[in-house]
C-alpha cells in the first residue's frame, strides 16, 4: 500500500487558525495536548482548517477518536506501549506514526504499525540536556525498518546538520513558530 508521508511535521497544542493557514501544505500537523481532555469540537475545527489548506492532520495518542473523525492518522508517543492497535476501523490511507528514544521503543512502534518513527531528541532542547547528536541518531535509526523523522532541538542554525543524518524529515514546535516563512524548507 502506498502512503503519502509528509517530511515535515509541526506539533501544536491549541487551535490557531491564522497560524495553520500560514503553514506550507507540505507540513503535517500533530495536535498534542496531554494536559486537557480532547475536545471533539476543537479537533473538528482543526481538521476543517487543515483540510481547507491541504494540510495532513494527526491526533496524538487517541486512535479511537482519530479514526472516528477520519483524520489522516494518529501519533503514538513513546510512552504508549499498547500493542492493542486494531486496524479494523482505519480508512485506507490512515497512518500510524510514533516516537521513540531507544531500540526497544523503536521495535514497539513497528509492532504498533507505525509507518514513520520520530527519534528524539536529536539536539539539545530547553527540556532536555540529554540529546543524541547526529551520530547517535543515525546509529539508533539503523535499528528501524520504517522511515525515521528527526525531532528535538532543531533550529535554523542547526538545520544544515540534518543533512548528515539518515532522517526522512523532521518535526518541531519552536522551529516553525520562529521561522514563519516556512515555504521552501530544504531537508
pTM over 0.85? The answer is yes
Predicted local distance difference test score (pLDDT) of residue 181: 63
Is the residue at 128 inside a domain?
yes
Is residue 184 assigned to a domain? no
Residue 186 belongs to a domain = no
Nearest to 103 by CA among 74, 145, 151, 63: 145
Task: Domain of residue 60: give its range.
Answer: 8-178
Q: Compute the average pLDDT of residues 174-180.
A: 80
Identify the bridge partners of residue 150 per DSSP, sorted by sequence position. 119, 170
Return all residues near 1 (Cβ < 8 A) that are at least 6 apart: 92
Domain count of the fold of the chain: 1
Matching residue, cell 543533512: 163
* 57 neighbors 72 (Cβ within 8 angstroms): yes
**Residue range 81-133, pLDDT digits in tens:** 988 776 667 788 899 999 999 999 999 999 999 999 999 999 988 777 788 99
Q: What is the pLDDT of residues 7-44, one digit of tens each?
A: 999 999 999 999 999 999 999 999 999 999 999 999 99
CATH number for the domain spanning 172: value is 3.20.20.70
pLDDT band at residue 183, thresholds of 50, 70 and 90? low
Amino acid at each position: 500500500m502506498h502512503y503519502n508521508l509528509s517530511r515535515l511535521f509541526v506539533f501544536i497544542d491549541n487551535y490557531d487558525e491564522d497560524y495553520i493557514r500560514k503553514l506550507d501544505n507540505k507540513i503535517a500537523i500533530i495536535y498534542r495536548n496531554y494536559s486537557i481532555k480532547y475536545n471533539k469540537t476543537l479537533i473538528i475545527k482543526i481538521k476543517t482548517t487543515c483540510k481547507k489548506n491541504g494540510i495532513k492532520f494527526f491526533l496524538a495518542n487517541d486512535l479511537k477518536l482519530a479514526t472516528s473523525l477520519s483524520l489522516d492518522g494518529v501519533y503514538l508517543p513513546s510512552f504508549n506501549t499498547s500493542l492493542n492497535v486494531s486496524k479494523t476501523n482505519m480508512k485506507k490511507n490512515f497512518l500510524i506514526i510514533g516516537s521513540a528514544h531507544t531500540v526497544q521503543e523503536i521495535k514497539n512502534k513497528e509492532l504498533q504499525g507505525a509507518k514513520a518513527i520520530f527519534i528524539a531528541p536529536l539536539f539539545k532542547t530547553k527540556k532536555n540536556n540529554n540529546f543524541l547528536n547526529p551520530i547517535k541518531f543515525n546509529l539508533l535509526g539503523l535499528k528501524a525498518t520504517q522511515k525515521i523523522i528527526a525531532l528535538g532541538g532543531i533550529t535554523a542554525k542547526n538545520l544544515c546538520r540534518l543533512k548528515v543524518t539518515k532522517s526522512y524529515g523532521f518535526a518541531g514546535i519552536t522551529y516553525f513558530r520562529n521561522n514563519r516563512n516556512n515555504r521552501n524548507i530544504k531537508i
